[in-house]
Structure 1
Amino acid sequence: MSMGLGRRMSALGLDLWLVLSLGRMALGARDHFVRDVGILLLVAVAVVGVVTAVIVSAARCRRYDIHRHGLVLRGRRGEQVAVMLWASVDPGRIILSTPSRRVRAWTPRGLLDWATRPTIVLINGWVRGPNDLSQGRRHRYDTGTYDYPFGWWQLGVTDPVHLLTAIESAMIADGHAARGLTAAALSQSYSAGPATLAAARELERASADSVIGIAQQ
């Protein structure tokens, strides 16, 4: 049985149980009504807690390993899915996308998504892998524009300062002019949605574009 079918069967079973419980409450004795309401509330709280834990766990299970010459992006099982080389990263083309405070959908999934949505660090770099094939699409931010050799990597993190500081240190150690990268990226923070999209499109890099870099004072 596939995971998708299993989830659907579990949801169907829960729905049937809720319907039967509500019917029993409506037809049952009055002195059992309060008890049944309490049980339903406890079950609802438990289900919301489990779903929240699953979503948070899934959101945090991807790992980014910082190495001497680049960053390795890993999947949910720890497998390597893409490599972002420091040599291809423009320190001046890194922005932050902060979660919107507005709820997109007033549904259980919509509310949970709003509550667990992380800050996204967007880094412009080379997105081609071996044989010039596109790599790591699940880690990419799509601007809807022409597919240049350069694109936006999106990294969801709970502590963007820690990640940016580590990247800055690694790039400097690898011989790249990245001093001030963290402060520059933090100064380019945009709300998720149209503001982030507009900023990413403005900083889009074509193959012939030069490096913006960090202005040294």
Structure 2
Amino acid sequence: MDFIQQWVTEIIIFLLIAMIVDLLLPQSTMQKYVKFAVGLILVLIFLQPLFQLFKADASQIFQNGLAYNEAQSEEIKNSIEKEKIEIQASQRAYILNQMAVQLKKQAEGELINDYGVTIQDITFTFPNDSEEVNWEDMEGLHVFLKNADDPRGAEVEDVVIDFNQEKPAEELPIDDIKHDLSSLWEISEEQIHLEWEGGDNT
């Protein structure tokens, strides 16, 4: 509202000044150019609100553009961080899976031959603040055991043994299994936690 009042006041004052100048100017060819200049200035004064509007819009558009760019930058940053976490988690899972496969291969033959059991799964325990998978930082591993099919079963003709029947965990030579796994994997027995397929912790 104040801007409109100021704008109208400027128009009135300019018209008064233009009238005085027109009266004071002598009749000559210069009067034509002066009137043209006065008319041009008057047009510019009339268009001042439009210029002000464009100026405000340009400023607002610039601010909106900056805010949009900042939002886009933050969104891209969050997206990259999320993808980074997902990639790291995928790599960690892959490394742990490969470690479990290698440990199984090392121990499977001996466990089947000596104890009639095989490794169903292996899970690892690392410190909470550990970001990388490091064998030296491992706090322990859980080995899930289950009964194995006897590889010599095909040669036995007169004796039929049901190997599907689970061997109770208390009948397994737990200490011997831990000792063998500790030697094979080169870790302490305290780091190895054996669990039977049925859920008995040993």
Fold agreement, TM-score > 0.5: no
Higher helix share: 2
Higher strand share: 1
- Higher-RCO chain (CA-CA 8 Å, sequence separation at least 6): 1
TM-score norm. by structure 2 comes to: 0.31
Larger radius of gyration: 2
TM-score norm. by structure 1 comes to: 0.30
